[in-house]
Each structure stands twice: as C-alpha cells, then as structure tokens.
Chains A and B, each alone.
Chain A
Amino acid sequence: MGDVSTAGLDGLAERLRVVAGAGNVITDPAELRTYECDGLTYHRATPGIVVLPDSAEQIAEIVRACTAEGVPYIARGSGTGLSGGALPRTDGVLIVTSRMRRILEIDIDDERAVVEPGVINLDVTKAVRSQGYYYAPDPSSQQICSIGGNVAENSGGAHCLKYGFTVNHVLACEVVTPDGEIVEISEAPGYDLLGAFVGSEGTLGITTKITVRLTRLPEKVETLLAAFDTIESAGEAVSAIISAGVVPAAIEMMDALSIEAAEAAVACDYPPGAGAVLVVELDGPTAEVDHQFAQVKELCDAAFEIRVAADDTERALIWRGRKSAFAAVGRISPDYIVQDGVIPRTALPEVLARIDELSGDSGVRVANVFHAGDGNLHPLVLFDDAVPGAAERAEMVSGQILDLCIEHGGSITGEHGVGVDKAKHMPRMFTEEDLDTMQMVRCAFDPAGLCNPGKVYPTPRLCGEVPGRRTGVHPLVESGKADLF
C-alpha cells in the first residue's frame, strides 16, 4: 500500500465540506481505503478524498475547486467496473454518484425517462415495467451498476446483439465539463458530442442527468438452453442461426468449466456432462418469435438436450447461471482474471481452438463465457495467487488471448472498457496517429488533463499550455501508476 499523500489536500477537503456538506466528504483513512478499487481489484489506489455529492451544481463546484488546485478527480458510480476505469488517485478526489439516484421523470408517452447518474440500471426497468416498457441495455451487473457508469463505459449486455449498447439508448446527457460548466449534450443539433461522450470512460466530464429511451416490452419471449457435447458443435449452431437470418435477442455460450462454476454458485441445474451450453433468447411479436424459435430449435439439432423455459421463473433460472458466471468462478478458483475481447464471429472456432492450445501449453485453466452472437469473448483465466509465478503466467495467457483478438481484426474490449487495465494494449490496436486523434477530443474537453487522467490512453497528448495547472510532475505522466499490486 502506498502512502496516502493527503497532506496537500486538507484545504481542498475543507472546501468540499462547504460545497457538499461535512457528512458527505470522507477523509478517514480506513473509510477511504474501501474505495481503493472498483470491480477490478488488481489495481488499487486509496483516494485522497472521497466526496458524495447530491446535485449537478455540487459536482460543478467540486470540479472547479479541483481545477483551481490542479487536483485530479475521478467519477465513480457503483464501483462495479472491470477495467479499473474508476481507479482513484492517491493525490486526487473521488466523486461518487451513488447518492444521486433519483428517477426524475418517466414519460411513457414519449418513451423516455430522465434519471440521475447513480440510478441502478435495473431500477429503471423496475420503474416502468408495469407500464409495458423496459430499459434495454442489460449488463450482467444490471442489478447494481449505475446508469452514470453505463454511460461512461457504453455498457452492453447479453441483449445488445439485437438492441445495441448504452449509446443507442441515451437521448441526452447533462454533463459537468472539466471547466465546471453544466451543459446538455445530445446527438443534434451540431456535433454529436453525445456519441463521443458515451463510452469515454469518465475522461471527458461527469454526467449528472441522463435521458434514456424506454423500449416496449416484447409481446413474446422464448428462451432455450441447448446443451452440446463440444464447444465446436455449439459454435456451429451459432453460425447456423446467424446465417439463417435470425437476429436473436441474445446468444450466450458457456463452456464446461464456467458451467461448473455457475452450478456451484447458483445451482442453475444446467444439463450435466455438457461440453458447452447455448442460451438463445428470441423476443418480439408472437408471430415472428414462434416462427424463428422453431427454426432455432432445428438449427440446434446437434444438442443432446434442449430445454425451453416454460415461464419467467424458468427463464430467470437459465439466465441466473449465465449472469452470475464471472463472480461464480470464485467458487472454483481462488483468483482469476476476467478477460474481455472481441473477434469477428466467423473466427470463433479458430480462436477457441487457439485459446485451448494456450491453456494446454501453459497449464493455466481458462473458462470461457461469451456473447457468441457478436463475438465478444470473456475468457476467465484461473490462477492461485498463493502459488509463486501463477499470477504472472495467468497474466501472460490473458495477454495472449488479446493478441489473438487483435490478430483476427477484433478488439481488446467489447464492453468492459480500456480503463487503466488495458491502456497499455491500445497501441497494439491503434496507431500512434489514431490515439493522437482521439485525444484531440480529450484536449477539447479537458485541456488540463485532470478528469480521470491515466485512463484509456497509455500516453497523454499534451494539449498546450493551460493556466492553473500545477507544477512538478505532469499529472498525466505519473498517471495510473499508483499502487499497482
């Protein structure tokens, strides 16, 4: 644990107490440490100050106070991110939006809702379901992740194959810019700043109010669980479904190891002995779903068992195994890395075979869970930190899996974000010019480089002389190096 260099922050803490109220500013060392990481525990840094604001105006004042003192600040929602996007800085302020969780407006007629950033994803759906609507993006952590965090990460979910990502369901955001201004951004008129902001991982400002699109609940939902002997035959079924012109709401695949973990965790009762299971969900008008579902069942004929959810309870049980898979791996391995890479779907068989080889050669076990419909892999690389060298071997295999993704024209992250964890991999996917160009957007929004510095990009683009920046080490240069263990 690095030393907590709060010395220079006492004055700022006092200022923040005035802004946000004394009870909403945390400086006790033990309390601060509980914020040292988000859902990715590999990177830790105890924040200098934690503040829990209640309004956009407070956030604007906090940002202005930080800017005046040249102190970096990082926004955090529920702290469930898997790339260390909300990793604090020992010399910075962590702005936690978990108390801004009001649903401000529900407008069923115009199919939209206005929410504060700390509102839990699933709570939006809960609030509108009785009126026949839901909020479509459904990351696996939807019961706890916040909409503000979803906006930062452009979160997807199992159903984004058909319904798209957060960016396709956000109509407008109120944002506190690094200037400390409160502005409203949307797709139009003017530049689509909203499109650039969503998924910028908290580096362009802090969203304080989000207008989301609500989606009509489908008339019919069919969910099946198909158990295959091998992962190859499951993969072939996926290809067959896509080639047939069916766009399912979701196609998820789990291999034997991840099934074992889910079984241990939530007793999801998947068919025993399966080498892989597919969860296929279709939704839409009854007439369409019935037709497609019959087709999908035929295309899964290689399965040794097909179960169809008879009702919502059975559907929930099928999904429970899938949605708890990451955390469930804790049941079969003391430590693990959740990887997130994307490949073109057609490369699936080859990439899976290569992962298998990597695992075999290194002796590192890899459990595979993925959104098969869009080629988003989530290999879970298992290790025991108590065994010397195991963590390094796991890290190596995990990195090699990303190499495979890049080699096949894919991406280093499909939904977890780059954060602090994958910034180093960005130059393998993008040229120096690409990264420089992307950071021009950052320079436009945050010339001082104080808004979540050190995330996404391995090296900062210098934005020119900016008044008010503190002297000494450039905040970006030392970024992301705090307390790695």
Chain B
Amino acid sequence: MEDFRELLDDCVHCGFCLPTCPTYQLWGEEMDSPRGRIHLMSQHEQGEPLSGPMIEHFDRCLGCMACVTACPSGVKYDRLIEVTRAKVEDERPRGRTDRLLREAIFAFFPYPKRLRLLRGPLRAYQASKINMAPLLNRISPTLAAMERLAPPRASHVRLPERVAARGERRAVVGMLTGCVQREFFPGVNAATARVLAMEGCDVVISKDQGCCGALSLHSGRAAEARAFAKKTIETFADVDVVVVNAAGCGSAMKDYGDVLADEPEWAERAREFSVKTRDLTEYLAELGPRATRHPLEITVAYHDACHLAHAQGIRVQPRALLAGIPGLEIREIADPEICCGSAGVYNLLQPEAAGELGDRKAANVSATGADLLVAANPGCSLQIATALRRRGEEIAVAHTAEVLDASIRGIGKEQLSPRR
C-alpha cells in the first residue's frame, strides 16, 4: 500500500471535489467535504488525536466516491477514507447505542440466511398496512429507516448452479449473487443469469458463495472484509470472469488487490481476481450484443449508482445497452454525480442526511417524467422509490438486467410495473 502521508499530500486543496460531495451539498461546511476530511486526516496523521467531531465528519462521508471522479489531482480518497475508517474502529471505542447498531447491521447484512429471517417481521409490517413509522421514529430514527426501506415482498427464487448458454457458447462466467440482491431482489439475479445465457454465456452460480465483504470494507471493518474477500476468491477460483450485478459488490471486488496487498500468500491471487471482475453492463458491452432486442416503449430515468459510476467509472455502458433497446427513451437525471443517500448502510447509520439526499434525488428523478427508474444497485432503487413515495409519487424501478431481460424475452413493459 502507498504511504498514507503521500496519499494525503496528493491533495492540492483546489476544492473541485466540493460540489460533488453530498454532505457539502447538504451543509456547506468545509469539514463535511472531501477536502476538509482530508485536512482532518492530515491533522490526525500529524499527531492530533481523533476527536468526537473528527469522527463525526468521517462517519458522515457516504463513501460515494464522487470526489474521486471530480479530483483533477488524482487523490485516492477511496483508500484514504477506508484506511481512516479502520483507524476509527481501531482507536476509538464508540458509544453504546452506535456500537449496538453497527453490530446489529453487521450481524445481518453480510449473511443472506440471517437476512431472510429478518424479512419475516418486515413483511408483517407491510402486510398489516399499519403505518408504524411515527412510533418507530420516536424509538429510533434508524429503525424507522430500516422499516421504510423494507423491500417489497418477493418469493425466494432458487437459481441452478449452472445455466447453459443459448446458441453457440461464447464464454463461461461466474456470477456473484450478493446478499441483499439475493434475498430482496431475486428477480434481478434471475434476469442477470438469463441475459448472460441468452447472450451466449454458460453461467456458473456457486451455491457456496457468501458476502463479498463490501459493506464491511466500506465501514472500516478491515479484518472482516479480508475474511470475506478470501472466501470469495476461493469460491470463484475456477472461472475466468466473475460477473456482478450489484455496484457496491463489484467495486469492492475490484479493490481486493489493495485489500489483501499486505498478505503475501493472497496478494497475487487478489490482484488477479480484481482483474477478472466485471460489472454486468461492462461485460455485456465487451461481449457485444447478439440476442435480438424486442421493442419496449418506455421512458427510462437512468440513475448512476455511485459504486458503478464513481468507483468503477461505468457510465457509458449501461446507457448504451439501454439505448440499444428499440422504443426505449433515456432521460438524464439532473446532477447525476450526486449520491442518492443510500450508500451501503449509510441510510441506516445517518438516516436524516440520507433522507434529505433521497428527497433531492427524488425531485430530480420526478422532473424527468420517466416511467421507469433504472439503477444498478438495489439500495439506490429502494432509497429513491421510498423518497418518491414521501412526495406522494410512485415510480416503477428496475435493474438494468431486468430491462434487458424483458426486451430480449419480448415480454413487454408490463413486467416492469411498480412494486408495492
């Protein structure tokens, strides 16, 4: 890993990151901008102990990496905040409530089976149609946020371990099913597997796969992240390409090289793994379209998930794939570089800020007048749909994979109807 001090020194204090930082947009304070946070990191590096305010400003960072895109000096803010978060976890014990909340989150989210158990009570809320929010809000805004984001009811789909290519085989790919994706959006995984197969790929879907470690990595839980990374590398040892449909997972997997750089027996494997990781849209663009696209008469607002656009630099490919569908019209959302506030577990840890950012994004999405919101990250779709609902608006949401699937199968746009 590069020397932390050197990484800090890359910042020339030009301020180009400020307008793309969601928290600077919200509060307009230097300390809640990337430039200010780097300054705080420097202070700590020079010997200032981590203070409560410092940690608060680090915690408020969404990790959206819009600043990485905006930075002309090439500051690796992603590495800086990752390292800093690990330092915070190591050096400063958190308060009881905060600690319990974090423990609770990390006891559930990276474990699909436990997530499944959690769904029972959440479904009960939804089925009862009792609005629990005011009560929950009083107990804890965080629990209220979880309730608000409770995903739609969807029956569990069991994917086979191998899906065979349609027509002549062009490649064999492994597929990551993800934790939240698998439990809350099984339809997206099914669509992903079908699209890959229809484009001529044998899709290998290992049953043994677990969490990729993204949430842990982006929250300063370094040891946990390393363990998840190693497990994932082993799971996909036999395929040449690993296709991911969740932006957060993909960006973490592309970072494995850095995450395991200090472990000699893993470093090389991790680097190779990162190189063979592809976002679904990235991979489909490389492969080139083969399956026939059937028309979908629909207007689509395409949302750039931060971990796709900023962390992986993937903006053109999903738009191109969508534009390749006859009849489909893409509408751009204003301020596309600004995070929607979902940001992994951010909406659980910083519900007020996340809510405000969600409202802003919802207003911009609403202004497009599109029929369908498409995003590559389940968290984003949930966050924006929830925020739209607060405005009294409904929008259908779909993953890029689902739209492609609907077009290739010719099943029509009705399949992409609003979820409730």
User: A248 near B: Cβ within 8 Å?
Assistant: no
Q: Provide the residues of chain A in CB contact with B16, threshold 8 Å.
A: 141, 143-144, 324, 327
User: A99 near B: Cβ within 8 Å?
Assistant: yes
Q: Provide the residues of chain B in CB contact with A118, threshold 8 Å.
A: 28
Q: Please determine whether B39 and A33 come into contact, CB atoms closer than 8 angstroms.
A: yes
User: B329 near A: Cβ within 8 Å?
Assistant: no
Task: Give complex CA distance A98, B24 in Å.
Answer: 9
Q: Provide the residues of chain A in CB contact with B229, threshold 8 Å.
A: none
Task: Give complex CA distance A330, B53 in Å.
Answer: 30
Q: Knowing A30-B51, A266-B72 touch, does A330 contact B12 (C-beta < 8 A)?
A: yes
Which bucket holds chain A's interface residue count? Answer: 35 or more
User: A251 near B: Cβ within 8 Å?
Assistant: no
Q: Please determine whether A78 and B29 come into contact, CB atoms closer than 8 angstroms.
A: no
Q: Knowing A326-B14, A330-B73 touch, does A30 contact B29 (C-beta < 8 A)?
A: no
Which chain A residue has the least Cβ–Cβ distance from B17?
Answer: A144
* Interface membership of chain A positions 140-162, coded 1 if the CB is closer than 8 angstroms to chain B and 0 otherwise: 01011100000000000000000
Q: Provide the residues of chain B in CB contact with A331, threshold 8 Å.
A: 73-74
Q: Please determine whether B18 and A31 come into contact, CB atoms closer than 8 angstroms.
A: no
Interface residues of B in 71-118 (CB under 8 A from A): 71-74
Task: Give complex CA distance A144, B30 in Å.
Answer: 13
Q: Please determine whether B14 and A141 come into contact, CB atoms closer than 8 angstroms.
A: yes
* Interface membership of chain B positions 1-20, coded 1 if the CB is closer than 8 angstroms to chain A and 0 otherwise: 00000000110111110110
Q: What is the CB-to-nearest-CB distance from B161 to chain A, in angstroms, rounded to a whole number?
A: 41
Q: What is the CB-to-nearest-CB distance from A129 to chain B, in angstroms, rounded to a whole number?
A: 11
Q: Please determine whether B73 and A30 come into contact, CB atoms closer than 8 angstroms.
A: no
Q: Please determine whether A31 and B14 come into contact, CB atoms closer than 8 angstroms.
A: no
User: B401 near A: Cβ within 8 Å?
Assistant: no
Q: Please determine whether B53 and A30 come into contact, CB atoms closer than 8 angstroms.
A: yes
Q: Secondary structure of the A side of the interface?
A: loop
* Interface membership of chain A positions 33-49, coded 1 if the CB is closer than 8 angstroms to chain B and 0 otherwise: 11111110100000000
Q: What is the CB-to-nearest-CB distance from B156 to chain A, in angstroms, rounded to a whole number?
A: 44
Which chain A residue has the least Cβ–Cβ distance from B51?
Answer: A30
Tell me which of B10, B19, B36, B72 contacts A120 (CB under 8 A).
B19
Q: Provide the residues of chain B in CB contact with A101, threshold 8 Å.
A: 28
Q: Knowing A39-B13, A101-B28, A118-B28 touch, does A327 contact B18 (C-beta < 8 A)?
A: no
Which chain A residue has the least Cβ–Cβ distance from B18?
Answer: A144
Task: Give complex CA distance A264, B48 in Å.
Answer: 34
* Interface membership of chain B positions 33-77, coded 1 if the CB is closer than 8 angstroms to chain A and 0 otherwise: 001100110010000100101100100000000000001111000
Q: What is the CB-to-nearest-CB distance from A362 to chain B, in angstroms, rounded to a whole number?
A: 22
Pick the 10 closest A-B CB pairs, nearest first: A330-B73, A327-B72, A98-B28, A324-B72, A34-B36, A80-B15, A99-B28, A327-B14, A34-B39, A34-B30
Chain A residues near B (Cβ < 8 Å): 26, 28, 30-31, 33-39, 41, 52, 78-80, 96, 98-99, 101, 118, 120, 122, 141, 143-145, 264-266, 324, 326-328, 330-331, 334
Instruction: List 17 contacting pairs A-B, 8 Å CB cutoff, sorted by A.
Output: A26-B29, A30-B40, A30-B51, A31-B57, A33-B43, A34-B39, A35-B30, A39-B14, A79-B15, A79-B30, A80-B15, A144-B16, A144-B18, A265-B72, A265-B74, A327-B71, A331-B74
